[in-house]
Structure 1
Amino acid sequence: MAITRMLAQATVTDLEQAVSWYTRLFGREPDARPMDGLVEWHLAATFGVQVWAEPDRAGRGTIVLDEADLGTRAAELDRAGIEHDGPEQATSSRILRLADPDGNRIVFTG
């Protein structure tokens, strides 16, 4: 068996609120709505992010995304009105942490 695609998932309480927030995060509307309660952003040919409405499990996820330029990403987040504390030094790299409206962590690393 060969795994050829990966989708990270954030579980949320209010799908339309989350779609608005993730649309600002990624700078574009979702690429797919494969079923009720699920939206997807295809970030490359073989990976992406799903946002799934399941209130009982909402807010407990973490998505880590590699980013070439954290300073540029921070500026884009500022323009999109997404709160963050800016890039910070971690043990082996720099990271930029933020949270969606349900508290799911999004961590850009670079």
Structure 2
Amino acid sequence: MIFELTYQVRVTDFEEGFRWYKTLLNKEPDFTPHEGFAEWELMPGAWLQVAEGIPSEGSGPLRLGVRSIEEERSRLVKDLGVNLFEIYERKEVPVKWATFSDPWGNQIGFFEYIYESEMHKRVTAILRSKE
């Protein structure tokens, strides 16, 4: 049984990467066990690790669910200098999605449920699974 997950991205300049991901996630890390490593719990049992090292070419994207891709895109362009990225949607897919890169080439993305009722169903299911 899988009960937790971690996803690691590597950055060549840890101090800059630390600041970048702290701004992306809008919070301080939850765990910094040693130099060159920080970890954020994105939701119960789901961790994003930022480690000093050589980024893995072609990895990702790690997509994060958000309420509004447009608002997050505006924030990242303003606060992190992320290049304006395209938002996609298809009639048969219940979410909009987008992908962008961090300064080290790691692929990150967002997705947003088109119907708020779908998002609420997912959040409820996730919260119930932790009871």
Q: Same fold (TM over 0.5)?
A: yes
Higher fraction of strand: 1
Are 1:105 and 2:88 an aligned pair? no
| TM-score normalised over the length of structure 1 | 0.81
In the TM superposition, structure 1's runs of 4+ consecutive aligned residues that sit over 6 Å from their partners are: none
Q: How much does 1:37 deviate?
A: 2.2
Larger RCO, structures 1/2 (Cα 8 Å, 6+ apart): 1
TM value normalised by structure 2: 0.70
CA RMSD of aligned residues (A): 1.9
Deviation per residue, 1:25-79 (Å, 9 max, x gap): 1112212112332111111111121011123xx1533212122321221232234
Aligned residue in 2 for 1:68: 67
CA distance in 2, matches of 1:71, 1:79: 12
Q: Which has the higher helix share?
A: 2
Q: What letter matches 1:6 in structure 2?
A: L
Unpaired runs of at least 5, structure 2: 113-131
Structure 2 partner of 1:15: 14
* Structure whose alpha-carbon radius of gyration is higher: 2
Any gaps of 5 or more consecutive residues in structure 1? none
